[in-house]
Amino acid sequence: KAGVTQTPRYLIKTRGQQVTLSCSPISGHRSVSWYQQTPGQGLQFLFEYFSETQRNKGNFPGRFSGRQFSNSRSEMNVSTLELGDSALYLCASSHMADVETQYFGPGTRLLVL
Amino acid sequence: SQKIEQNSEALNIQEGKTATLTCNYTNYSPAYLQWYRQDPGRGPVFLLLIRENEKEKRKERLKVTFDTTLKQSLFHITASQPADSATYLCALGTMDSNYQLIWGAGTKLIIKP
């Protein structure tokens, strides 16, 4: 079974631009969570989607948004990028039968200049 | 305040010895705690889950303990190998955050041959 995939793997943007990141979960997984990881910080939870509905949301500004499609693929969007948005963005999926275990993708490394 | 802490300094261990990593938390009522491994440029990989009513869990060379009185989990790798070198993250599942995982920043483990 293929793992979680994320595209693109690397991205360079400038301040003020917007970016869209994509995540394809493991087949059969309907829950997708997004995290931001910066050096020295734990993973910061952005949001979780289940069956196309946002189920939970972390404490990030409204510039961060997401959505999930009927095939469980998910996208997150960051508008009006700031230098502090430079981070590794991780997507994780989980199965209904084992909601506690998260399977992570390799992440998208975003650099904002 | 609520927080989860791991030793931010790298842990250097001689091959063959037991590596012990610590995860401490404050002001949370945990339901379970998880340990993940993260290699450079990759997403975290799930290792073990221990529930609040369990004292110890084992998986091959890995052992996790959970002391809800001390608010601490210990993660042990016995007979450590250079291939065990990675960053290890702990994550707390708690009703306080609607079961969204609360993550430590991770401890880098270096196993020297």
- Looking at every residue in chain B, the average pLDDT score rounds to 93
Q: Structure tokens of A91?
A: 């997507």
Residue B2 in this model has a pLDDT that exceeds 90? no
Q: Report the DSSP pairing between strands B102-103 and B86-94.
A: antiparallel
Q: Which residues of B touch A (CB under 8 A)?
A: 4, 8, 32, 34, 41-46, 49, 89, 91, 93, 98, 100-106
**CB B43 to CB A58 under 8 A?**
no
Main-chain phi, psi angles of A92, to 5 degrees: -135, 145
Q: Note whether A46 contacts B: Cβ–Cβ < 8 A.
A: no
Minimal C-alpha gap between A71 and chain B (Å): 22
CA B56 to chain centre: 13
Note the pLDDT of residue A41. Answer: 79
> CA dist A30 to A34, A54, A98, B58, Å?
13, 12, 11, 29
Chain B hits for A33, Cβ within 8 Å: 100
Provide CB contacts within 8 A for A88, sequence distance 6+: A36, A37, A38, A107, A108, A109, A110
Nearest-angstrom CA–CA distance, A52 and A74: 9
Nearest-angstrom CA–CA distance, A68 and B27: 33
Residue A66 in this model has a pLDDT that exceeds 90? yes
Residues 58-77 of chain A whose Cβ lies under 8 A from any Cβ of chain B: 58
DSSP A28: T
Q: Structure tokens of A89?
A: 């963005």
Note the pLDDT of residue A85. Answer: 97
B73-100 CB burial, b ≥16 within 10 A, e <16: bbbbbeebeeebbbbbbbbbbbeeeebb
Residue B96 in this model has a pLDDT that exceeds 80? no
* B7 pLDDT tier (thresholds 50, 70, 90): confident
Q: Report the DSSP pairing between strands B3-6 and B56-59.
A: unpaired
Mean pLDDT (whole number) for A87-105:
94
